[in-house]
Structure 1
Amino acid sequence: MLKKSLVLMSISAAFFAQAQDVSVIRNSIDVYSSSPNIGSAKFNAMGGSNGALGGDANSLLTNPAGLGVAISGEISGTLSILSNKNTSSLAGSSFGYKTNKGDLGNVGAVMTFQLMTESAWKFINVGVNYSNQSIENYIETPGNSNLIYDFNNGNSSSLGRHAYDRYGYMSKTSVGVGANYNHNLYIGAGLNFFNSSIDQSDTAAFTSLQTGASEYFSKQNTPFYERGNGFSASLGVIGKLSPNFRVGAALETPTFWNIDRSYNFYNDAIYGDDYAIENRKFTSPLKATVSAAFIASKSFSLNVDYSLGLTTPKYKVYGVAETELNDFFKENYKNVSELRLGAEYRLKQFRLRGGYAFTSNPLDALTISSFNNDGSASDRSYSNLMLNNRNALSFGLGYDFKSFYIDAAYQNISSKYTNPFLRGVVNDNVEAGYYSPNNLISSDSYAVSDVKNNRNNFFLTFGWKF
């Protein structure tokens, strides 16, 4: 029975149990702490790996020193089709749902200025890059007839289904400058401006054991709506060790977010059911990237990037909610590392590209009280709660018409994680349950489903060199 499921939890999970909504934690890491990394079809086909190669506007996504590598002007636009599918499984049943979004994924431009002097400084280049992606994510989980809640009016209902539903987008606009010193050393700097939009809901349906009718509930403080803007700065350097080898390093400051937020609340002693508006300040982790490239000839190049978050996410404290979130990140957040590999082979005017990227799990293992399939509850430890490692494979083709070029790329990103929901305590001090116009659900434990996430993305770029 949901209301009789109180089980003592470990200290590491205590923060998690209090920290508002699962969606807030997930979005803090998955959205606000990871900037959009959709570039041109070439960039995506090579796994987003170009930190020591550079040469185009997408250098602003990894290492702004790459702007200094360019020796001619260029402008490009990329169309993206993003397909995101989640399959959530609970108690032997599964629901799968796919979303497809087409959009303008990337626009980039580099303007080169050759210095006609005797100085060793050869070029000063200016770059602009715009990257945009949908963050829509829908996770629907089937019900479990063994998870039964007894209402105070004597009626009982079983879990019919649950859904996390997120709509929105994230964009990053970057401007930067790169310089070429004697074709051996390249330095660069960039400013990054972010915009985000999130519409998030957390709902559950329960089926009456008496009538078979479904009743729909919303989690306290949901749905919520967030509109954010932020900025960061980046510095980078690339050096040639030999005509064939380059190394690079870049540092990106935390992104300083300003987030306007509104949310629905329920069962308040004074206001009843209403909505509230607030503002939050959020700081994402500081990030460092090191890179290496091997250019065998004009026909083949290989690049590897390794990025590491150096700090933890943090909210400016206005009250208990931000303190709980910061305590959770301090206790359970792991510095995220990302490895990206990319290669390009040129055969006359044809281009063949491939890439791989790995992103580590941002959270430590957590122990929580969760429901078993038979409806009982017990402490369980999860190494992939809410988020997990991500693997990305990609490949692409291109054709260079000298002044014009066209590139295409395919990218597959996969991840498996466990999805907690349904916990929400309602007592004299806390109103955090699931609410309908007539009833409320109070649960000390989580239901946890297994989610397979699979993204299949396609990109098409048209470019002009001048």
Structure 2
Amino acid sequence: MKRISTFIMVLACTFASAQTIDDVLRYSTENLQGTARFQAMGGAFGALGGDLSALNINPAGSAVFSFSEIGFTLSNYHRNNDALYGNTISNTTSNSLDFNQAGGVFVFNSSTDSPWKKIALAFNYDLVQNYDNEFIARGNTPVGIDNYFLNFAQGEPLGPLRTQEGEFIEDAYLDIGASLGYSAQQAFLGFQAGIIEPVEDDDANTSYFSNAQYGNVNQRYLQNTSGYNSKFTFNFATQYEDNLYIGASLNFHNVLYDKVTYLDEDGYDIDSPIQFASFDNLLHTEGYGFSFSLGAIAKVNQAIRLGGSYQSPTWYTLTDDTSQRINSNLAVSDIDFINFGIVNLYDEYRIKTPGKYTGSLALVFGKEGLISLDYSYQDMSKAELRPTGDPNFASENDFIGSTLGAVNSFRLGGEYRIEQVSLRAGYRYEESPYANSDFVGDLNGFSAGIGYNFGASRLDLAYSRTEQDTNSYFFDGGIDSAALVNRRNTNIALGYTLKF
């Protein structure tokens, strides 16, 4: 009976806003993988077109195709993370395999003397972000988890933090979150786990102290994320005369994201009432989004091509739910009933990501090869949590506006053809989205690849590697514990295309 009543409570429970700058960055930042050819050339296709993933950079690119074509790409993702925390470096590696791209383009040539030479209709699926990742941080720190609960508890009355006679602890946990909010709910967890205690044993008490005594504590933190942000594109483009290509795309996003974190802590003083503590959190996000893009490519002469495109903001609609669990040697006996099966539901919210502008230049050396350069500009300070009238979102949006800045990114790619064989290489640079790059560093990447043209089909292989330093905070609030993580992502992609 307890499980049934708890499930009903879960469905009825809603929280005040808890979305932060991290949510905005997660869905505003694209790490587009694309076809194997696209990856091998660093994604520098804004003035080239003729590749299904190039539609994400410049939608005019589908009109560059001479023939109808379908293609798909399989990628292996290798993550290598070095986490520095408390003067200790911990290494974590992981792998995942996924079909990250599939699509097709249909080319219709004009049969009249019209200056509109052809039109192209294309559809394409691309993985914008693969969230599969994991890192472990271990170290000795003077900031224990008790500080997290004290931060939320100070000012909260003791009365609601007690379970009432005949009340299940998991029901009390959900009720407090729904009626009093996140801070009171975290205070409840710390109190029921015995990590914090009231200064006075009075329901009106609003001051608390820690049961943990230490100079430093040993912490082990594990963060595992999974999921994806995918984009399905419907594209239309046309060629005017011999030198101008114009196109537009409608983009439909689908989001699934899970983050689970585990924190274990020990190493307290020998006479400390608390001798061990654990605190785990689970976030699950689902949603969808929409954007559009416009672009053009011009042939200045036989060797020079120019491209320009606009990527609109992406409007996301998202829902979150969270679960928690906690334990210690002083926790109440039924603390285990608060677990990942007890779910807090949040109200639906929206995120508007900033628009992006891209300018491109390509040099084409006949059938022998090419060099291409893309430059993109995106002002991340314009990102918004919505509705903007929500007081919690208003303050967080002010923080976003003052903390994030403009992102300039460059992509450089080249291809050299030897009969049926194409040799490729690329470089990618993207500035930190933060005005202060101490939070997240700049991203650097390089790539290489090879392709073989069979005439009616093509097989492509690509290797790409990116590296970036990030300060990964353990919690969204309460304490500022963070690990400096050096992220090295290596992808190997195999793609196949067929002309018809």
Residue in 1 that maps onto 2:368: 299
User: Given the superposition, is the C-alpha separation of residues 421 and 122 from structure 1 closer, same or farther in structure 2, using an over 3 Å criterion?
Assistant: same
Matched, 1:313 2:383: yes
Q: Which ranges in structure 2 are unaligned for 5 or more consecutive residues? A: 1-16, 147-194, 198-210, 327-336
SS of residue matched to 2:242: coil
Q: 2:438 aligns with which of 384, 389, 393?
A: 384
Name the Cα RMSD after superposition: 2.3
Task: Choose 116-125 or 144-153, whichever is displaced more.
Answer: 144-153
* Structure 2 residue corresponding to 1:242, chosen from 301, 325, 341: 301
Cα distance per residue 1:49-106 (max 9 Å; x no partner): 1110111322211001111111111111100101112111123211111221101011
Counterpart-to-counterpart distance in 2, 1:163 and 1:65: 44
Residue 459 (str. 1) matches residue 454 (str. 2): no
- Cα displacement string for residues 412-433 of structure 1 (whole angstroms, at most 9, x for unaligned residues): 00012333335844xxxxxxxx
The structure 1 segments of at least 4 consecutive aligned residues displaced by more than 6 Å after TM superposition are: none
Preserved CA contact (<8 Å) 1:138 1:164? yes
SS in 1 for 2:300: strand
* Cα deviation digits, residues 212-251 of structure 1 (max 9, x gap): 9642114xxx422110100100000111111110101000
Cα separation, 2, equivalents of 1:447 and 1:36: 27
State the distance in 2 between where 1:67 and 1:424 align: 46
Query: Displacement of 1:362 after TM fit?
Result: 0.4
Instruction: Return the offset for 1:152.
Output: 4.5
Deviation, 1:20, is: 5.4
One-letter amino acid of the counterpart of residue 276, structure 1: L
Partner of 2:357: 288
Give the Cα–Cα distance (whole angstroms) in 2 for the partners of residues 225 and 48 of structure 1.
31
Query: What does 1:95-110 correspond to in 2, within 5 Å?
Result: 95-110=90-105
Partner Cα separation in structure 2 for residue 288 and residue 149 of structure 1: 44
- TM (normalized to structure 1)? 0.81
1:33 and 1:461 mapped to 2: Cα distance?
Answer: 27
Alignment match, 2:447: 394
Between the aligned partners of 2:319 and 2:472, the Cα distance in structure 1 is 27
Match of 1:173 among 225, 232, 235: 232
Residue 384 of structure 2 aligns with an amino acid whose one-letter code is K
Q: In proportion to residue count, which structure has more strand? A: 1
| Cα distance, 1:159 vs structure 2 | 3.7
Cα distance change on mapping 1:423 and 1:464 into 2, 3 Å: closer
**Secondary structure of the structure 1 residue equivalent to 2:28:** coil
Greater CA deviation, 308-317 or 182-191? Answer: 308-317
Q: Which amino acid aligns with 2:53?
A: N
Whichever residue aligns with residue 481 of structure 2, its letter is A
Residues 1:115 and 2:110 aligned together: yes
Look up the match of 2:412: 341
Work out which of the residue numbers 230, 254, 277 in structure 2 matches 1:215: 277
Query: For residues 294 and 363 of structure 1, what CA distance do their matches in structure 2 show?
Result: 33
C-alpha spacing 1:123/1:205, structure 2 compared with 1 (3 Å) = same
Greater alpha carbon shift after TM alignment, 41-50 vs 138-147: 138-147
1:135 pairs with 2:135: no
Say if 2:213 is the partner of 1:156.
Answer: yes
Deviates most, 78-87 or 311-320: 311-320
Give 2:178's aligned residue: none
From 24, 27, 51, the counterpart of 1:28: 24
Larger relative helix fraction: 2
Distance 1:149 1:384, change over 3 A: closer
Cα 1:155/1:119, change in 2 over 3 Å: closer
1:56, 1:74 within 8 Å by CA — same for their partners in 2?
Answer: no
Shift of 1:148: 4.9
Q: 1:253-299 deviations in whole A, cap 9, x for unaligned?
A: 100001011123799xxxx9662232111100111111011001111
In structure 2, the partner of 1:13 is none
Deviation per CA, 1:299-352, whole angstroms, max 9, x where unpaired?
A: 111111111114621011363432232111111111222100111100000010
Corresponding residue for residue 185 of structure 1: 244
Determine if contact 1:361/1:384 at 8 Å carries over to the other structure: no
Q: Is the 8 A contact 1:288 1:310 kept in 2?
A: no
Going from structure 1 to structure 2, the CA distance change for 1:461 and 1:422 (only over 3 Å counts) comes to: closer
Q: Distance in 2 between matches of 1:424 and 1:465?
A: 53
8 Å CA contact retained: 1:254, 1:284: yes
CA distance in 2, matches of 1:424, 1:234: 36
Q: How much does 1:122 deviate?
A: 0.9
CA contact (8 A) 1:349 1:401 kept: yes
CA distance in 1, matches of 2:301, 2:477: 60
Residue 415 of structure 1 corresponds to 468
Shift of 1:166: 1.7
TM-score (structure 2 length as normaliser)? 0.76
CA deviation after TM superposition for structure 1 residue 458, in Å:
0.5
Matched, 1:82 2:77: yes
Q: Aligned with 1:364: secondary structure?
A: coil
Which amino acid counterpart does residue 286 of structure 2 have in structure 1?
A: R
Q: Distance in 2 between matches of 1:146 and 1:196?
A: 38
Matched, 1:205 2:275: no
Does the C-alpha gap of structure 1 residues 94 and 62 become closer, same or farther in structure 2, counting only changes over 3 Å?
same
For 2:43 and 2:476, how far apart are their aligned partners in 1? 38
Equivalence for 1:229: 288
Q: Does 1:196 align with 2:255?
A: yes
Q: Give 1:119's aligned amino acid.
A: S
Contact 1:149 1:156 in 2 (8 A): no
Match of 2:315 in 1: 256
Aligned-partner Cα distance in 1 for 2:145–2:498: 63
Q: How many residues align?
A: 401
SS at match of 1:242: coil
Q: Tell me, what secondary structure is at the counterpart of 1:259? A: strand
Write the distance in 2 (CA, Å) between the matches of 1:265 and 1:448: 20
Say which SS state the counterpart of residue 388 (structure 1) adopts: coil
Deviations 1:380-436 (A, max 9, x none): xxx321x221011000001000011100000000012333335844xxxxxxxxxxx
Tell me if structure 2 keeps the 8 A contact 1:62–1:289: yes
SS of 1:32's partner is helix
State the distance in 1 between where 2:81 and 2:28 align.
Answer: 21
